[in-house]
Chain A
C-alpha cells in the first residue's frame, strides 16, 4: 500500500537531548513537509523540501533541523535548543510543491 509512515508513534525526550522523528513515503512525491500541532493552534509549518537535497525554513524552524538525502525520507531532528518541544508532529508529502498535501499518522513528542 502506498502512503506515509511516521515513527515512532510516541517519543520521549529528556532535557538537553536531541531526538529524531522519522518520515518515509512511497508515493514518489517530490515535496515533503513537517508541521507542528498544538491544542487550539492548528498546524504550523516547521520545514519543507521541494526536492532532494533542498529544504526551506517554515514559520517556526528555530530549534529544529532536517535533511533530505533521499526522495522517500525527510527526518526531523528536535534539538535541545527547542525549549517547548511537547507537541504532535505531522509529516506530509505532495507530488509537487503546489499540489495537494497528504499526511502521515503523526508522532507525539513528550518531555520527561
Chain B
C-alpha cells in the first residue's frame, strides 16, 4: 500500500518569498514521485517528476523538488514566489510493475500576497 501526506492544506507567502510545500510518502517499493499544479476549474498540469537517477529534480516555472529516501520526502520549493504561482498543488506517488497505481495527496492551496 502507498500513501501521501501533504503537510498544510493552505500555505500563504509574500511575493518574492521562498515557497516550500511539503510532501511525505509511504511506499513498499521504490517510488515514482510527482508534483502537479491545478488552477481553478482546470485540470492538473505536471510540474516535475522523479523516477530514478538524480534526486534533485527541476521542473517548470522555476520549481524544484528533492527526493530524500531516508526522510521519505519529496518537498517542492521555489526560491521566489510570483503572483501567478497561486494555485493548488498535489503530490502523488506511484509504483512500478503490473499493479501500478498513482496515489494523490489531498493538496495544498498556495496563496501569494502582494
Which A residues are closer than 8 A to B by beta carbons?
A: 4, 6, 35, 40-45, 58, 88, 90, 92, 97-98, 100-106, 108
Contacts and interface: CB of A to CB of B under 8 A. Distances in A.
Contacts of B105: 42
A104 B36 CA distance: 13
Interface stretch (B14-22, B37-45, B54-62, B72-80): B37-45
B96 A106 contact: no
B67 interface: no
Interface of B: 9, 32, 34, 36, 41-46, 49, 90, 94, 96-98, 100-102, 104-107
Contacts of A98: 32, 94, 96-97, 100
A105 B100 contact: no
Given A100-B49, A103-B44, A105-B42, A40 B96 contact: no
* Dominant secondary structure at the A interface: strand
Contact of A104 (B43, B97, B102): B43
A90 B38 CA distance: 11
Contact of A97 (B34, B41, B100): B100
Contacts of B36: 103
Given A42-B105, A45-B101, A103 B94 contact: no
Nearest to A9: B41
Contacts of A105: 42-43
A90 B96 contact: no
A40 B9 contact: yes
Contact of A106 (B43, B46, B97, B102): B43
B46 A102 contact: yes
A45 B51 CA distance: 21
Nearest to B42: A105
Contacts of B49: 100
Contacts of A97: 98, 100
